[in-house]
Structure 1
């Protein structure tokens, strides 16, 4: 690997509609921007491929988790960090993951609250069933807990990587004359205002709050985000924020205005 970070497996689990996949993809983007090869495994995609012979019985669900864990292990053995997004609803499922992967796995519980799902009746109903424990057993053994619908969720997830800008510099040094990789050049292309906007988004501010803080319109905020996405080769605001965070860019000072 070119990164100073050893291969590790991040296992994101939580109730349906908790936002696991979005967070997992943000983590993958962050690690790749650091020069760390990262593989993303999704339980839903596994069901359509490697596990298409399995049904919804309790035994089949356990077997699905087992296959996912061994698949993650094989990718990690190849030198990749692995980000997994699986429901993993019961304690015995998590115990199996830990038994197979040992101390290489970081179990991250992505919590979904009823408040976070209030915008969608279907999500609210599924979250309610999960919170009641009928289909999802709330864990006590997670290495970290993240509230999926918190504005600081992505920032908290990225912090779990524990990678600093000095790690990037060390991993990117390939001797005299070597060309830099990743998004170092992209960082220089961002304007001061674009950097300010992304920095405030990382801190959890909404578009309207960013506009008020900087004294610009929400339309202008969106324009800066669109430009930053193009410069960072990001397909979404979430990906742009993740790439920006991975750069180790200094965030704007908090003056207490929100």
Structure 2
């Protein structure tokens, strides 16, 4: 049997939570050597968390970071970057944590008791195929603004609704979500309602969960600032995003810090590392 130091170490962390909002459970697998994508997909399905990251030391000594959901590989995932940084800090001491992701370098910082990652956010662009709205059961009169797309490597459609009540009445089947995302080249559908300048209610349906609803999605929260740059929403420089269906346990809280003078947006969350162990290899 391999020594424990040579085995994959597994951690369970909670990200994007506050008080009654449980956020998302996140897997972090620290590997002694580069894992194969096939092994990562298998382990992510086996663990069953919304997202699981795999980290290992590269030849330069930097941490390599890859993320898989039970359904697909994600080219970039803020949730697992925050969880990975918290896990590695517990192993190696305080300080910022640098990663090499599939799409470039990313650095996670700790400030105000939270973990933060800074990303450049592009302005959204108008939705070209508005037939999508009728297929979602949304007439033009039910909207609070113009639908738009943003998200870089993981483009998502953003649809503003007039109130949280309208947002929480929304129902979608996973099959509808996957079909529309496949046809439009999207990774998710985001519906939101502005409560006030510092609070947005958000619901996200994503391909990474087979068309299901996610409790907390960092990239989707960042995209709200991209939408704001396309059609101003009257947001303050600090925004709390409460994601998920009301009256359920599957809800998350995400924090944003941003300035009109900068293309970058800070995304933050507390991260609790709950469980640690070693991965038992199956035959």
* Alignment TM-score > 0.5, same fold: no
- TM-score (normalizing by structure 1): 0.31
Larger proportion of helix: 1
- TM-score (normalizing by structure 2): 0.29
Structure having greater relative contact order (Cα 8 Å, sep ≥ 6) = 1
Larger proportion of strand: 2
Structure exhibiting the larger radius of gyration computed from Cα positions:
1
